[in-house]
Each structure stands twice: as C-alpha cells, then as structure tokens.
Amino acid sequence: MSRTLLEVHQLETSFQRDRQQIKILRGVNFMIRKGEVLGLVGESGSGKSITSLSIMRLFHGTTGTIDAGSIKFDNQELTKLSEKELRKLRGKNLSMIFQEPMTSLNPVMKIGKQLTEVIRLHLGYDKKRAVLHAVDMLEKVGIGRAEEIMHEHPHQLSGGMRQRVMIAMAMACHPSLLIADEPTTALDVTIQAQILQLMKKLKEENDTAILLITHDLGVVAEMCDRVVVMYAGEVVEEATVFELFANPKHPYTKGLIASVPKLGESKDELDSIKGQVPSPMNMPAGCKFAPRCEMAMNICLKQEPAMHEVGSQAKCACWLYEAKEVNHVHG
C-alpha cells in the first residue's frame, strides 16, 4: 500500500460574520495516499470546498481562518507554514483546479506567458525550455494547435479549452497532489468525459494523488479509489468506492445514492433526501443529520455519534452502528 501523502486531522475552520465567528469545519479527518484518487462528496454546504481551500490556505479576501487541527502534507505541517513557504508549494507540489477556469487564469495575460511563468518559477527552467514544456503540456491535454494557443488570451478559448489549459497549468510541475473542485460540473457531458479521462491519464503518468471534490456520484464511481462523505462540516462516512456503492452505511450516504437518477427513472420518482443541510449558525444538537433522518433515535437528538470502523476499510459516524436501543423518532 502506498504511503500517506496528506493527512487532515481534526481540522476546524471558521469565518467571521457580523462580528461572530461561524464554525464551518468541525473537526474534519481523512487522509490520501500517494497516487490515490479520493472523492470528497456531499451536498452544497457540507464543507467540501472549504476543506480544499483550508488545505491550500486560499482565504484571500475572506475572513476564513484555521482554528484548530493539523494538515500534514509530505511530512510538512501546512498550518505552520508562512505564506511565502506555502506559495512555494502551491503550483508545484500542491495544485488546484476549479470549476471556473477564470479563477486561476489571468484574463489579460496570454496563455503562453501564464504557463511559462509557472514553469520557470517552480521548475527553474530557462525561457526556451519553459516554452517547450508549456507546448508539450498543452498537447498532452489534447489541445491540437498548442503553439498558436500560446499567443492567445483566455477569452478567445471555449470553456472546455480553458479547462484543459487550467489542467495543463496545474499539472505542468508534476504535483504530488492535485485538488480538483467540481472540475467538470460546468462542462457538457462529452467534454466532461474527456477531461476526466485526461486527469486519469496525467495521474497515472506522474503518480499524482487527486482530491476530487464533487457532488456527482457518477464522477466518483468513474474516478475514485476511496470516498469520504461530508455532512454539515464533518466526515460521516469513509469507504472504498466499491464498498460505498455496494453497501453504504450512513443514512445520509444511502440518501445521496438513492437520489442519483437511474436509467428510465423520471425526476419525480427520485428518492431525494428531504430537508436541507443545517445552517452553520444554527446547528442542531446531537447528530447533525437527525432532523432529516428517518432512522433517528432519541440518542441521536442529544449526542453526536463518533466515527467507528464498520468494515476492514470503512468507517461511519452513526448511532445505528453503536446503540442497540432503537427508539425511533420519525415513522
């Protein structure tokens, strides 16, 4: 089994709103091995994206702070690094791609200049070698007229092309970890499939680990080795991709899987989870999923369940796998 590359332990992140500190992540734990693809899933508001921004410490222009916990990447404690030290890691060992490519592309700079700047900064190549590497990366991500595109601005490209350029930029310095936050959500299905294939290929060539943040369980099934399910700022289930789909444990995970449309099923037939993710300003006591859970017992309303092993490679935080006294609240 490969060694651990990233280990997130008891991570707590908060944001300030109206002079109040609002806790968004409430003790997140997970790890990624070298070369592994880990899916981070959950509805919007579950804390997936804040987890990735916390790892990269990309809180610019916001009030986000890491209050507690540790993020160990390649034996370095990221929470203790200065902004300067972190900048050296970002783009080189640690890269990120976003749903919206314009988040990482500069609209007024030509593609070639953006790519070669990253390559020269992190790999120390001279200009000529950096240009050759940039063109090579653009070709690797399936851009046919790579040399021409080097002289174009991002707005001259289609959405799918911009996404490819962003992946080329993120992969140019052969990062050991790529964080991909909903990388294909804005793209049509054909382009989405191509981009996923491309990420897989680049991952295999460079043994890159990927933290794939998505709400799309189809993408998870296609890409991931293991899955971490988040709800209301914490991890509620963790399993291999096979185990998660074959035998989901947490009622929330079961709900997520049941709400994926199957062939021939109409939208009205979908078994979606009723209710909404609670607001971080108004978290219920006990299990945070209890107000929406049909299996809720009295203990769920009072005490938060701890994470327990529920299989050789599976963990789940739910009283159903601990308490025998079943005293259902709903139904």
Q: Which residues bind ligand SF4 (CB under 6 A)?
A: 250-251, 287, 289-290, 293, 295-297, 300, 305, 318-320
CB 9 within 8 A of CB 69: yes
Closest CB to ligand SF4 among residues 86, 329: 329
CB 37 within 8 A of CB 203: yes
Nearest approach in angstroms of CB 253 to ligand SF4 is 9
Closest CB to ligand SF4 among residues 212, 287: 287
Q: Exposed, middle or buried by CB within 10 Å (0-12, 13-18, 19+), for 238?
A: buried
Q: Specify the residue for token string 């914490």.
A: 234
Nearest approach in angstroms of CB 42 to ligand SF4 is 14
Nearest to 88 by CA among 175, 206, 199, 9: 175
Q: Exposed, middle or buried by CB within 10 Å (0-12, 13-18, 19+), for 274?
A: exposed
Return d(Cα 206, Cα 17) in angstroms, integer: 41
DSSP 245: H
Nearest approach in angstroms of CB 9 to ligand SF4 is 22
Beta strands 94-97 and 177-181 are parallel
Closest CB to ligand SF4 among residues 223, 297: 297
Nearest approach in angstroms of CB 303 to ligand SF4 is 9
Closest CB to ligand SF4 among residues 111, 228: 228
Closest CB to ligand SF4 among residues 17, 328: 328
Closest CB to ligand SF4 among residues 151, 328: 328
Residue 252, φ and ψ in degrees, nearest 5: -65, -45
Nearest approach in angstroms of CB 229 to ligand SF4 is 11
Q: Specify the residue for token string 């989870």.
A: 273
Nearest approach in angstroms of CB 145 to ligand SF4 is 52
Nearest approach in angstroms of CB 325 to ligand SF4 is 12
Element (H, E) at 213: strand 209-213
SS3 at position 181: strand
Closest CB to ligand SF4 among residues 30, 319: 319
SS3 at position 41: strand
